[in-house]
Amino acid sequence: MKTLLIAIIVCSASPALAWDGPAMWYGAADGANPGGGGILGTGGGHDHGIKCTDCHVERKMENLTLGFTFSPALVNNTYVGGTQYTITAKLAGAMLAATSCPTSGGKNNDGFAASFEDDNGTNVGSLAADDGQSAPSCTLPMTLPTTGTTALDGDCKVVFPLKQQNTTQWVFRWTAPSSGTVHLYWGAVDGDCDMMSMHDAAVTGSQTITGPAMVAPRTARPWPVTLLLGLYVAATAWLTT
């Protein structure tokens, strides 16, 4: 019920006009010009399971995908604890701008949001945007730089686009935790330039990343019975001589 109520507030507090500024992710959901209330639509525990598809309704259908490329590359989908990965998020199949923008006169704003969480929905690892921001130095109200493609400001737990217009590729960094399974939750939107949350294309998903294998501690092996008997016999013989 809590998730449903949050979704209703975020999506229908007033007409869902487009958010031209990243700061609106953390704007009050019940304000005169409502924002996201800290909900970014990743679908993870940070967003109470709310996905971008919960607010982007009457969607256009297209073959939209969002892929993440890790550098250094994950080996067998397993991260190395404490390693900082440079991650490129790339939106493919975004075709609405070619058909809608010339006639609507609006801005071609595409975007994504992503979080890294454990099995309990708690954020793990440490994010850094390519605009220079890094956890835990996030602030509200947001003060966003003018360079880079991604941002963190708000709570440092979700990465989202700093540059949206005419952009389908974004870069950020993630430092992996020491161990444990990690779930990458994400959502992405191909805007249709009408500056509203309707008639866009959207896609959501998740990726489970395995943590490094834990090496079991060595346990002492019991001495073989025959060896113990031999030692006993030897000790007895020595004592009686």
Q: Which CATH number does 2-212 carry?
A: 2.60.40.4060
Place of tokens 């805007």: 191
Check: CB of residue 211 under 8 Å from CB of residue 70: no
Q: How far apart are CA 201 and CA 203, in angstroms?
A: 7
DSSP string across 58-86: SPPP---EEEEEEESPPBTTBPPTT-EEE
Prediction pTM value: 0.80
Whether the ω angle into residue 136 lies within 30 degrees of 0, i.e. cis, is: yes
Q: 3-state DSSP call for residue 216?
A: coil
Find, among 179, 200, 183, 29, the residue nearest to 114 by Cα: 183
Every domain of the chain and the residues it spans? 2-212
pLDDT value for 118 = 97
pLDDT value for 221 = 57
> Mean pLDDT per segment of 10 residues, for the chain of length 241 residues?
42 49 79 84 96 88 94 97 98 84 75 96 96 86 81 91 86 97 96 81 95 66 56 58 60
Q: CA angle at residue 148 from 195 to 96, to 5 degrees? A: 30
Q: How far apart are CA 89 and CA 85, in angstroms?
A: 12
How far is residue 125 from each of residues 1, 136, 181, measured CA to CA in Å? 29, 11, 11
Tokens found for residue 135? 């956890």
Q: How far apart are CA 230 and CA 207, in angstroms?
A: 58
pLDDT value for 9 = 40
pLDDT value for 99 = 74
Check: CB of residue 123 under 8 Å from CB of residue 136: no
Check: CB of residue 135 under 8 Å from CB of residue 153: no
pLDDT value for 185 = 98
Check: CB of residue 190 under 8 Å from CB of residue 64: yes
| Backbone phi and psi for residue 151, each to the nearest 5 degrees, phi listed first | -145, 165
What residues have CB less than 8 Å from 86, skipping those under 6 apart? 70, 71, 171, 172, 173
pLDDT value for 144 = 73
